[in-house]
């Protein structure tokens, strides 16, 4: 018959003591969990309230140029980002305090490892500093059509770390502010609708120029433009064709629609005139 191994009395006593202590601490644990939950919910509610107050305070009536509303939307976006970071940090500190974690020791450990953290956070600090400079210098506003880091689109929001850009293809790009070296803005000042028209070698270039100019006059009448688009003949050539250019100064954000209209009209007219592009 196999013999049963007896559990040492000391082990039984130790396990019983652990479960007894845990049982007596359950009310305290539940209370701390409840307080932490209340702190988190209250913090989220306060954060939402602050976001609404910021939005209500900074959003004003759009002026005729739309410049004021873009600047105010930029300030709102950055202010909300700062409030988010500060509020999340405050909630985390309160929750740690509720569970009896000594914040002084955490700060001491953070101070000891600050050099290592600094090396690891170089990119984050670079993004934040770059974002602040973009805001202070006024090179970027929410609603501007820009080219950043090789992507073109409309700025939807600016935070301390990233800039959200809605691309012309409908995709949303999140670009770290530290990656922004050059800002190409299409929403400041007057724009130019610019279309390059290619004419195949062997065609009558003077006739092609006259046809394009005539089509530009008709286009100006059809679209009620203030002036006739200007045609610049033979700005470039290669082994296949000669390039002409059509330009028309226009208001902000009207250049792309006008470019499409000019391109369709000119190439359709060249086809009807039997001029090979």
What would the pLDDT profile of 95-122 be if each residue is shown by its tens digit? Answer: 888 777 766 665 555 554 455 455 555 6
Lowest mean pLDDT among 77-81, 87-91, 232-236: 77-81
Q: What is the SS3 assignment for 271?
A: helix
The beta strand positions in the chain, using DSSP E, are 145-148, 151-158, 162-167, 172-176, 184-185, 191-200, 230-237, 241-250
pLDDT (average), residues 249-259 = 84
Q: What is the SS3 assignment for 225?
A: coil
Tokens of 160: 């301390």
Highest mean pLDDT among 81-90, 117-126, 261-270: 261-270
Highest mean pLDDT among 119-128, 147-156, 184-193: 147-156
Dump the DSSP string for 74-129. HHHHHHHHHHHHHHHHHHHHHHHHHTT--HHHHHHHHHHTHHHHHHHTHHHHHHHH
Q: Is residue 126 part of a domain?
A: yes
Q: Is residue 258 part of a domain?
A: yes
Helix, strand counts (H, E) of the chain: 7, 8
Round the average pLDDT of the chain to a whole number and report it.
78
pLDDT digits (tens, 9 = 90+) for 1-52: 455 555 555 555 555 665 666 666 667 777 778 888 888 888 888 888 887 8
Q: Is residue 168 part of a domain?
A: yes
Tokens of 272: 């009807």
Q: Report whether pLDDT(64) > 60.
A: no
* Same domain as 94, residue 122: no
pLDDT (average), residues 120-130 = 68
Quickly state the pLDDT bin for 63 (edges 50, 70, 90): very low
* Same domain as 94, residue 28: yes
Closest listed residue to residue 190, CA positions, set 236, 134, 255 = 255
Tokens of 39: 């702190």
Closest listed residue to residue 177, CA positions, set 123, 118, 119, 138 = 123
Q: Report whether pLDDT(243) > 90.
A: yes
Total number of domains in the chain:
3
Q: What is the SS3 assignment for 59?
A: coil
Q: What is the pLDDT at residue 220?
A: 92
Q: Is residue 145 part of a domain?
A: yes
Q: What is the SS3 assignment for 255?
A: helix
Q: Is residue 267 part of a domain?
A: yes
Region of 215 please: left (phi>0), alpha (psi -120 to 50) or beta: alpha
Q: Is residue 4 part of a domain?
A: no
Domain boundary at 157, 185, 213, which? 185
Quickly state the pLDDT bin for 217 (edges 50, 70, 90): very high
Q: Domain range for residue 139?
A: 118-185
Q: Is residue 5 part of a domain?
A: no
- Name the pTM for this structure: 0.52
Q: Is residue 277 part of a domain?
A: no
């Amino acid at each position: 018959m196999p013999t049963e191994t007896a559990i040492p009395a000391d082990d039984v006593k130790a396990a019983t003591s652990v479960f007894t202590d845990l049982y007596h601490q359950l009310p305290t644990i539940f209370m701390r969990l409840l307080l932490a939950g209340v702190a988190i919910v209250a913090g989220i509610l306060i954060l939402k309230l602050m976001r609404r107050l910021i939005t209500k305070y900074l959003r004003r009536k759009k002026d005729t140029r739309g410049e004021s509303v873009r600047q105010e939307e930029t300030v709102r976006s950055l202010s909300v980002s700062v409030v988010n970071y500060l509020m999340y940090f405050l909630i985390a500190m309160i929750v740690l305090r509720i569970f009896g974690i000594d914040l002084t020791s955490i700060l001491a450990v953070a101070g000891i490892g600050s050099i290592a953290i600094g090396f690891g956070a170089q990119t984050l600090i670079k993004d934040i500093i770059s974002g602040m400079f973009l805001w202070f210098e006024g090179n970027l506003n929410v609603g501007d059509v820009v080219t950043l880091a090789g992507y073109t689109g409309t700025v939807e929001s600016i935070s301390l770390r990233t800039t959200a850009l809605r691309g012309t293809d409908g995709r949303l790009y999140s670009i770290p502010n530290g990656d922004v070296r050059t800002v190409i803005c299409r929403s400041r000042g007057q724009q130019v609708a610019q279309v390059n028209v290619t004419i195949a070698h062997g065609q009558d270039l003077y006739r092609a120029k006259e046809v394009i100019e005539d089509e530009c006059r008709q286009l100006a009448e059809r679209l009620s433009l203030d002036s006739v688009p200007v045609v610049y003949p033979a700005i470039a050539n290669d082994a296949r064709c000669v390039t002409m250019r059509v330009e028309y100064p226009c208001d902000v954000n009207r250049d792309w629609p006008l470019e499409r209209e000019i391109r369709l009209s000119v190439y359709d007219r060249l086809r009807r005139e039997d001029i090979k592009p």
